[in-house]
Amino acid sequence: MNLQNLCQGVISLSLEVGSFIREEAKVFDQNAVEYKGLHDMVSYVDKTAEEKLVAGLSTLLPEAGFVTEEKTSSKQGLNYNWIIDPLDGTTNFIHGIPTFSISIALQCDEELVLGVVYEINRDECFSAWKDGGAFLNGKPISVSKAPLIENTLLATGFPFYEFADLEPYLNVLRVLMQKCHGIRRIGSAAIDLAYVASGRFDGYFEYNLNSYDVAAGIVLVKEAGGHVFDFKGGNQCIPNRQVIATNGLISEELLLVIKQFFH
C-alpha cells in the first residue's frame, strides 16, 4: 500500500467535507442540537459530514472498516480500520466559535499508520503517514525545540462530563500554570495535537478521550519528531483514554508533574 498516495486522497476528501461544514456553520441554528449525554452535543452537520467521509473513504480503501463517533458505519475491517471524528470541536461549532476540525486516522491491525487533521476555518490541513514525516498544507513540520517547561506554551482540555478526576487535574493545572508561559484550551483535541506537531504548542495533556479524538493527532506528533504517551509514561493512550504529547524534550518533566497527582 502506498500510504503517501492514500494520504493525498484523504486530504482531498477532508477539504471537500470541510467545505460543507464551513458553509453549514454560516446558517446553523442551535435548535438543531441533540444531546447524546451530559454536555455531549451533536447535530445533523456531524452526522452528514461523517456519512460523506465514510462514503469517500470506502472508495479509497474498500476493505477497511470504521470506528466513528456518530456510529454511521458498523463495518469492521479485517486489517484496516478508519478512525473518524467528523467534527472535533462540536461545542465550538454550535456556539459559533470558529475552531473545529475533521480528524481521520488509519489503523493497520493495532498500529496507527496515517493521520489527517483539517482545521476548517483556517484552511490548514495537517497530514502524516508512517515513516513519511508530517506536513501542513504540504510543507514539512516538526515539533518545537523548547528544552524546559519554563520555556513552553502548553495545551489541555477541560473535563466536561466525567469529573471523578477533577481534583488531581486541577492540581496539575495549579503546578503548570506557575511553571510555563501559559496553558490554552482550544476545544479540539485533534487541533491541540496538530499544534504540538507543528511546534505551536510544546506539550498537551488530557484525559477521558476517545480514539477518534486523538488517533490522527498521535500520528502527526510522532511523525513530527515528538513523543506521545499515557499518564504512566506507557503506550496505552487509547485504551487508557489519556494522552500526553510533547516535543520530546519536556517529556520527563511534564510526566513527573502529572504522575504526582494521577496514580
The three cell numbers of residue 162 are: 466525567
Which residue segment(s) compose the domain that 13 sits in?
Answer: 3-141
Q: Looking at the 3D structure of the chain, how many domains does it have?
A: 2
Distance of alpha carbon 230 from alpha carbon 99, whole angstroms = 25
Distance of alpha carbon 95 from alpha carbon 169, whole angstroms = 26
Q: Which residues pair with 112 in a beta bridge?
A: 107
Nearest to 27 by CA among 96, 89, 91: 96
- Segment 129-154, tens digit of pLDDT: 999 999 999 999 999 999 999 999 99
Sign of the dihedral through C-alpha 244, 119, 12, 82: positive
Check whether residue 84 and residue 59 sit in a common domain. yes
Mean pLDDT over residues 115-131, rounded?
Answer: 98
Of 108, 141, 174, which marks where a domain is finished? 141
Check whether residue 195 and residue 81 sit in a common domain. no
- Strand ranges of the sheet holding 242-246, from the earlier edge strand across to the other edge: 182-184, 153-156, 203-207, 242-246, 227-229
DSSP E strands in 89-239: the ranges are: 101-108, 111-119, 124-129, 134-136, 139-141, 153-156, 182-184, 203-207, 227-229
Which helix or strand (DSSP H or E) is residue 49 part of? Answer: helix 44-60
- Segment 42-79, tens digit of pLDDT: 788 999 999 999 999 999 999 999 999 888 888 999 99
Check whether residue 128 and residue 18 sit in a common domain. yes
Of 90, 121, 141, which marks where a domain is finished? 141
